[in-house]
Amino acid sequence: MKGVDNSPADREGMTNKPIITCAGDWNLFCTLEAPLVAAIPQDSCEWRRSYGRPPKSVYLEASFVKYNKDKVVAEQNLLKRPIFHIYWTDCVDIEYYKTTLREDVETWLKQLEKNGITDWMIVLVETYDIRKTNKLLPRTTVLDKIKGDFAVKQTEDRFLSVINPIKSEARSAESWRALVAKIRHFVLVAYNKALIKFEEHMREQREKRNDPEWDFCKYFILQEQLAFVLEMLGLYEEALVQYDELDALFSQFVLNSNVTESPKWLDTFRQPVTSWQAVRLTALVPQSLRDLIIKKKASLLDFRSYLFQRQSAMLLLMFKPWEIASLCLSTVQNTLVELSLLNVSVVEGAAACWAQLACAETLRACERLAASNNAMEMCTATQAPLLHNAKDKLHELGKLCGLLPGSPDPTSEQLHLVVMLSAGMGDSEPNNQQPTPTDRLKEALCSKTSFQQYYLELAELAMGTYKHIGRLRFARLIGRDLAAFYSELGETGKAVVFLMDALRSYEEQGWKDLAAQTRLELVAAAKKMNDVDRYTKLSATIACTAELEILVRNFYFEEMMNSIRVDLKDKTESVLTELNDCFKIISATLVPSERGVYITDNKIQCCLLIESHFSKEVNCTRAAISIEPCKEEKQDKRTPVKSYKTDLNVNGSVSTQTNLQRKTSDVSTDSDVSNLISSIRLDDLKPKNPLLNPLQITSKLLYKEDKSLQKATIECQNPKVTLKRSDSSKYRKPSATTRNNFLTSLVLENVVLKPGLNELKLEYTANQCGTFKLGQVSLLVEGKLEFLSNALIGTKVGFEVVTQGVNVYLNKVEPKKDLIAGLEHAMELVITSGSAQLKENTSILLKTSAGLLIRFAEDDTAMTRELTIPVPPSKPFETTKVPLRLFASLQPKREKSIEHTVWLNCPWWDNATEVPLHFSPPMSLSWRLLTSHARKFIHATLRSAAPHFIQFALTEPTLQCDGNNQVADLNPKGASDMMVASDGTTASFMWELLKDPLVKAEPMKATFSVQYRLVDSEEPARTFSCTFDIQDYTTLFVIRTKLEPSKGSDFCRASQVCCLQLSVQRVNETEYTSLMYEVLADQTMWAVLGRTAGVITMEPNCTEPQNVTLDVMPLVAGYLPLPTVRLSKYIAANTKDPKKDISAHPRLEPFSPGQVYHAGKAKQVHVLAPIPKDHLDPTMI
């Protein structure tokens, strides 16, 4: 922007103002000129244009010149010719007008008319006279006269009177404003006309462009005039269009020159380029360049510089610096192309110089402008490519002049070139504090260090700017250039940083070729840095890169092997690198264990399918997969010292383990094991390609009202699913190669990995139980280079190891039968050593609960409750059986089952293990007391309770009673074949209770005992005994019943009332005197008439029977059992006995069965069918 205002007046272009001539009273005008010049630009005026162009609001300026009739001639030069003409007069005297002025005006108008000028105006300046105001206005003013003389319809508004503002400012304002507005209006009208005419002319000229004589330079200057005018009018945009048109026209010519015959004028631009001055981006017209163009001496660079400067001047005026930047880039690129197309002879590097300077200047201008216009953001986006280009050009220059690092010192030719180039750049503009781009470039070309500095500055800035605007790929591209530069500088470390960054991004986005190329650069850097680790790793990767030539790959394969053998020889640790670069894990499968589960100290095998990308075989020293324990809270529970394996095929099994613990362990492992899988293919891990999902598309047929098909459509039900974008930067960061703990790992050593698929069988001997998963895969190649996978397969693949430590079972021997107390049982202690080895001198201590005895089966030692069992030493997975014999002694209690426990105390277990044992008694006894009047018998029955078939032979049954009671054995003597079996065979015994009737019968204890042994065994017989109590066994009452026909009848007949004689006799002393009898008759046979029950009182000393007679009626005929009679103790209400119930109601208490003897219990009476006749035959049976 600088220099816009203080530009020298002799320059064309921006300094131009529309020229307005003034005729008539020049002196008068001179008084008005200053305010007029000031007033015109103060306001805008709408410029209506023809050809439907949009109207524009325009600020005008004007410069006034004295009218000169010789210069009126309408020049083609739009700028220099006057555009508008004004005749000034202040004549108020009509007479004077008539005599002098009229003629003058007429001549002026005629002259204008002769030149075809219609843009004029006549201004009458009046002096406002206060005195005049009161008077009547004169009939005709001078203006009216002038109008009358010269005006035609179209020109009526060209006559204007204005009150002189110098003399009376206040009054003049309105008329003055009108004048200024008119002038603006008419000037624009004039321009409109002029431009239309000019454009026509221009078009004509352009049409001739294929004329051999046509000259672009001339045309350029011509059209530029239009641009100047438009610029002058403030229409920078349209001015720019003019330049753009010229630009395009020129470019087209140049392009066409290649194909068709090139026009003569183009040779101008073929002249050798001698100057490559920097473009200067100001609003000024670079006059020197313009002169060159006019003189046809401009070189292509000159012309392009000029055009670019003008274009950017327009853009600067429009405050669009960012467009300058993009324009600069395209100009520079076009110009370079044009230089080559036109075969312009140019010093090597000059074009680059020019381009570099153009870019740098543009950047400078943009910065300057942006800083003042808050357009920084807009500019930055376009600055980056400029910086990029400037950097590239500088690099080109550096290469030419031998300034690049690593290149030999510049030759004299190169030094000469520098001088040439510097000269061609010309001098930079003076009065500048900061070094101009020209200065900087010159300086840079002078020495290597300054070149470096400038280059790095530009590159870093370009990269930073690219990053800022988000063009990361460009930034990385520059990063690569920088890397190359730094690498040449010897700062390989810096280079590697850039390259690594680039490499990562290429890899992430799948640009394999680029990644491969970058790797090649990296490997070179590594070699330079003598970074053996990196060199080896990269060589390996390159050797596996399918995108590269096989020769390159083989070369780096050899390099890798070489560096492993030579450079890494002394290294103790292996070099870690990514597995995925060189190998591909296809699948990993755990080989199922023979035993179903993986057991400690046993081999676990994993089949690893790996694809090698190496072109040759490599020797894998060790392949391993790390094993990681699954971390869970329940871990403590899942690493038990002992296992809970049970011998499940035993029905009603005797397990050695606590059930409680087993359950918890089952639960905890179940949840975990269900998550683990034993095999995985790497392809399975990839997320499913969403594009492969079927689209939710349905077809739809739409019918019209008349059922004809209107249209068939397909509809996507859920467009969100299919149109979902998933590319929003979710790039995985490649995980750094961290080495897992390979202390526990599946290992295979020394295997040759062929190119392509390899199947490896890795082994691991589990020494710990628990749940494990597979982690990282490691392949150690040649003992030095270790390829590590990221823990891809670790998530799911795993296995569970259980310790089958020493298991001890107490098992029954075949045939497995239930345990029966009172019998000796053969059992065995089974010790499976599992995966452990049993050492010598280990022993298991067995303890039993009370009543359970144990001994070794082999020797006939006494049975004990504690037994120490020595366990022979054994190898893993051996089983030792120790036969034992168990005996549970019979309990006097008559229980259905007998529970015992054996505690196993093993040295390798902390706690004793409980083995619950369940015994059933061999047989059970039931007994009854039988009464015959006063005699008592005891009937004992033995039955077997064993659940399985078992037979006992019984001998020596005895019954012993305490007290004075004797029993008489009624059993057959010497009966040795008494048997009891569990199939239901029972054995019964009978004794009579011999009791002294005089002795009061106390309750007594009886003990039954019998010798038993198993029928087929040789064992000595054992005693089965059972005690029971006998109470209230003395017979107190005897009841007799008798049925008699009613009086007058001989027989009992159905439906005839009979007489039931009931007699109760006391046979022994008793305290119970009050008795109640109840006749319990079967209601289908007997009907008791009257009371069925009654209370009788027995006199304590009377032994006579009490008799009761009841009327009963048999209902059916036949042998009927007599109705039974129940006798109960009758306890009357308010009994004296306080211990007894104090209730007011009488109660009944039954007698014990032995206390009442019912003599007529089994009696039957023959009842005859009822006979209507009168004779009855009572018959008693």
Partner 1 sequence: MAVCVAVIGKDNSPLYIGGIGNDSGSDNELSRQWLVHTALDALEERLTTTGNGAAGANANAARTDMRDLYLGLLYSTDTHKIYGYVTNTRIKLVLVTHSTSPSGSNIRDAEVRAALRRLHALYADAVCNPFHLPGDPINSQKFDKQVKNLMLNNV
Please, what is the Cα angle at 1103 between 1098 and 1107, to 5 degrees?
Answer: 60
Strand order in the sheet with 1004-1014: 978-981, 951-961, 1004-1014, 1022-1030
CA 111 to the chain's CA centroid? 90
> In degrees rounded to 5, what are phi and psi of residue 16?
-70, 145
Q: Shortest distance, CB of residue 733 to partner 1, whole angstroms? A: 15
Q: Shortest distance, CB of residue 354 to partner 1, whole angstroms? A: 13
Pairing of strands 951-961, 852-856: unpaired
Q: Which two tokens stand for residue 151?
A: 């005006």
Q: Shortest distance, CB of residue 466 to partner 1, whole angstroms? A: 8
Please name the residue that has the structure tokens 């290649």: 258
Nearest CA to 319 among 361, 359, 366, 387? 366
With H, G, I as helix, E, B as strand and everything else as coil, classify residue 12: coil
Q: Shortest distance, CB of residue 502 to partner 1, whole angstroms? A: 10
Q: Which one, 399 or 569, has the nearer CB to partner 1?
A: 399
| Whole-angstrom distance, CA of residue 254 vs CA of residue 336 | 12
Nearest CA to 357 among 297, 452, 421? 421
Q: Which one, 686 or 1175, has the nearer CB to partner 1?
A: 686
Q: Which one, 257 or 563, has the nearer CB to partner 1?
A: 257
Q: Which one, 176 or 506, has the nearer CB to partner 1?
A: 506
Q: Shortest distance, CB of residue 730 to partner 1, whole angstroms? A: 9
Q: Which one, 336 or 934, has the nearer CB to partner 1?
A: 336
What secondary structure does DSSP assign to 147-187, as a single string? HHHH--GGGGGGEEEEE-TTT-HHHHHHHHHHHHHHHHHHH
| Whole-angstrom distance, CA of residue 920 vs CA of residue 923 | 9
Contacts of 1011 (CB under 8 A, 6+ apart): 954, 955, 956, 1021, 1022, 1023, 1024
Amino acid at 521: E
Q: Which one, 459 or 820, has the nearer CB to partner 1?
A: 459
| Whole-angstrom distance, CA of residue 487 vs CA of residue 481 | 10
Q: Shortest distance, CB of residue 243 to partner 1, whole angstroms? A: 16
Q: Shortest distance, CB of residue 726 to partner 1, whole angstroms? A: 7
Q: Which one, 146 or 317, has the nearer CB to partner 1?
A: 317
Contacts of 1120 (CB under 8 A, 6+ apart): 1085, 1086, 1114, 1164, 1165, 1166, 1167
Contacts of 721 (CB under 8 A, 6+ apart): 690, 693, 696
Q: Which one, 484 or 560, has the nearer CB to partner 1?
A: 484
H-helix or E-strand containing 1022?
A: strand 1022-1030
Q: Which one, 474 or 742, has the nearer CB to partner 1?
A: 474
Q: Shortest distance, CB of residue 689 to partner 1, whole angstroms? A: 6
What secondary structure does DSSP assign to 558-621, as a single string? HHHHHHHHTTTTT-SSPEEEESTTTEEEEEEEEEPPTTSSEETTSEEEEEEEEEE--SS-EEEE
| Whole-angstrom distance, CA of residue 896 vs CA of residue 1144 | 44
Q: Shortest distance, CB of residue 191 to partner 1, whole angstroms? A: 28
Q: Shortest distance, CB of residue 517 to partner 1, whole angstroms? A: 6
546 in Cβ contact with 576 (< 8 Å): no
740 in Cβ contact with 611 (< 8 Å): no
| Structure letter (DSSP) for residue 10 | T
The answer to whether the Cα torsion of 546, 547, 549, 553 is positive or negative is: negative
> In degrees rounded to 5, what are phi and psi of residue 30?
-55, -35
Q: Shortest distance, CB of residue 312 to partner 1, whole angstroms? A: 15
Q: Shortest distance, CB of residue 337 to partner 1, whole angstroms? A: 5
165 to each of 134, 171, 318, 789, how far by Cα in Å? 21, 8, 36, 94
Q: Shortest distance, CB of residue 210 to partner 1, whole angstroms? A: 16
Q: Shortest distance, CB of residue 336 to partner 1, whole angstroms? A: 6
Q: Which one, 221 or 469, has the nearer CB to partner 1?
A: 469
Q: Which one, 290 or 320, has the nearer CB to partner 1?
A: 320
Q: Which two tokens stand for residue 236?
A: 């920078």
Q: Which one, 691 or 712, has the nearer CB to partner 1?
A: 691
Q: Which one, 333 or 735, has the nearer CB to partner 1?
A: 333
1104 to each of 1030, 1037, 1069, how far by Cα in Å? 29, 11, 13
Contacts of 585 (CB under 8 A, 6+ apart): 579, 608, 609, 610, 611, 682, 777, 789, 792, 793
Q: Which one, 523 or 1167, has the nearer CB to partner 1?
A: 523
Q: Which one, 258 or 717, has the nearer CB to partner 1?
A: 258
Q: Which one, 49 or 584, has the nearer CB to partner 1?
A: 584
Contacts of 1103 (CB under 8 A, 6+ apart): 1065, 1066, 1067
Task: Please state the three-class secondary structure of 207-219 as a single string.
Answer: HHHHCCCCCHHHH
Q: Which one, 320 or 773, has the nearer CB to partner 1?
A: 320
Q: Shortest distance, CB of residue 447 to partner 1, whole angstroms? A: 27
Q: Shortest distance, CB of residue 315 to partner 1, whole angstroms? A: 12
| Whole-angstrom distance, CA of residue 352 vs CA of residue 922 | 118
Q: Give me the residues that bind partner 1 (CB under 8 A), please.
A: 251-252, 255-259, 322-323, 325-326, 329-330, 333, 336-337, 341, 378-379, 381-382, 385, 392, 466, 469-474, 477, 506, 509-511, 513-514, 517, 689, 691-692, 725-727
Burial 1038-1051 (b: 16+ CB within 10 A, else e): bbbbbbebeeebeb
Q: Shortest distance, CB of residue 258 to partner 1, whole angstroms? A: 3
